[in-house]
Every structure is written in structure tokens, then in C-alpha cells.
Amino acid sequence: MDRHAGLDVPDPAPGEFLSRGYQGAVYLRGAGADRRVIKQAMGGRIARVVRSAMLRREFAAYERVGGLPGIPRCFGLQPDGSLALEFVAGEPYRENSSALKDRDRFFQQFKERILALHALGVAHADLKRRGNLLISPEGAPILLDFGSAVIRNPDGSFWNRFLFRQACRMDLNAWVKLKYRRRYDLLSPEDQQHYRPTALEDAARVVRRAWRKVTVRHVRKAWRLRRQARRDQPR
């Protein structure tokens, strides 16, 4: 893949704003078949350095898996460090998952896509975030955002192989979480084999629970539930 292909004429206008996330800002540029998603590192100096590194990692992941179905085409890193991707016309999974016509098929394809990535040496590592998933017009999954991907090196160190294995587990755990909507008690025996929380995920869960306990959100929720219960009480 040509590192700087796709946008031969640099467009000084950032384009239509799409979203702001971990890696900076996402813009839409161009029209029709030339429509591109531009991911640009933003923020202060340190944030920009980190985000630019994530964009380079994302580019490396796309280089490895380019051509797989369900993944946008990548047009490379631009001279300013931004990343250009094919715009995929999909619906955000977050808001549309309940309207999926064939949920089983969606999750079967989703798993196949994850396993195809792993076979090429790329683990996504951020699939729990529903914003990284779109639903195509045909109802198939589109995987986005490879900024946290773990890429297996052919002559990788012990550490690289370890991280890759952990990230592969995280991908399948995310698949289980989304498929069963956290109802882990409903897992089929076949899917049970895919759910193996890593030590990192276990630790994150403990922190998350503790955090919920100490935050105002937790207090507010309890207060709201109490108020609702009082309202529902027979008079």
C-alpha cells in the first residue's frame, strides 16, 4: 500500500466534522466514490504525539489486513500525519443493534471477521466499545478503529506474542459481551469456549465496580430508584 496514496491533492479544509474520540477528530472529505474519512490527531503536544502513534499503529494494522471484508479500505497516512479511510455507509451499532434483522447471522459474521483478523496477525483490542462497530446496509458488521490493535510480529518477542494472545482473547470476550448483552449466564456451550476474561479485564471490572460505588452517578441512581419505588407504592 502506498503510504501517501488516496488524497493526491491536499485539501486544506478539514471537511465535515464526524466525531471526536480517543485518537482526535474524524472528518468526512470528498464526495461519491471519493468520499474519505480523515482521522486527525488533535490536542496538546503530548496528546498529539500519542494520538499520532495510534494513527500509525492503525495504518500498520490496515496494511496487514487490507482487503478483508467488513473493514474499510485504507488510503494511507497523509503528509500531515492524518489517516485516510474509505467511508463506509453503515448505521452505528450502538443505536441500531436492537433493529438487527438477523442477529445470529450478524454475530456469526462478526466472529468470522475477528478470526480472520487474528489469522493475519492483528487483534483489534477495542471491540467492547460499540462505537467501533457499524451495521452495513446488508446487516453485516463493519469493524472500525484499529488504533489500539496489537500486531503480531513474525519474529516477535515473548512479550509481543503474549500481548497478541491476550488481545485475541479480549476480541472474543467483546464478541460474547455484545452478542449476549452481558447476560453471561445465557452463553451457549459452544460460545462458552470463547469467553475467557484476561487478568487485565478482571482488574478493570473490579476498578469499574469500585468507581461506580464512589461516584455521584451511583448515588444519584440509588436516589432515583428510591424515589420511583416510593411513587410505585400503593397508597
Ligand X SMILES: Nc1ncnc2c1ncn2[C@@H]1O[C@H](COP(=O)(O)OP(=O)(O)O)[C@@H](O)[C@H]1O
Could you list the residues that contact ligand X (CB under 6 A)? Answer: 18-19, 21-23, 26, 37, 39, 72, 85-88, 92, 131-132, 144-145, 147
E strands present in the chain:
16-21, 24-29, 36-40, 74-77, 83-86, 91-92, 122-123, 133-135, 141-143, 150-151
Can you tell me which of 141, 145, 172, 178 binds Mg ion, judged by CB under 5 A?
145
Which distant-in-sequence residues (6+ apart) come within 8 Å of 134 by Cβ?
88, 90, 91, 92, 93, 141, 142, 144
**CB 228 to ligand X: min, Å:** 33
Nearer to Mg ion, 77 or 144 (CB): 144
Which distant-in-sequence residues (6+ apart) come within 8 Å of 102 by Cβ?
139
Of 92, 93, 86, 91, which Cα lies nearest the Cα of 39?
A: 86
Residue number with the shortest CB distance to Mg ion?
145
Grid coordinates belonging to 93: 451499532
Nearer to ligand X, 73 or 196 (CB): 73
Rounded CA-CA distance 184/168 in Å is 19
Nearer to Mg ion, 129 or 196 (CB): 129
**Residue 37 binds: one of ligand X, Mg ion, none (C-beta under 5 to 8 A by kind):** ligand X
Task: Report whether 148 contacts 125 (CB < 8 A).
Answer: yes
**CB 171 to ligand X: min, Å:** 15
Nearer to ligand X, 88 or 115 (CB): 88
Instruction: Please give the distance of CA 67 from its chain centroid, rounded to a whole number.
Output: 18
Residue number with the shortest CB distance to ligand X?
21
**CB 230 to Mg ion: min, Å:** 40
Which backbone phi and psi does 122 adopt, to 5 degrees? -130, 125
Can you tell me which of 52, 82, 109, 132 binds Mg ion, judged by CB under 5 A?
132
Nearer to ligand X, 126 or 172 (CB): 126
**CB 42 to ligand X: min, Å:** 10
Residues that bind Mg ion (CB under 5 A): 21, 131-132, 145
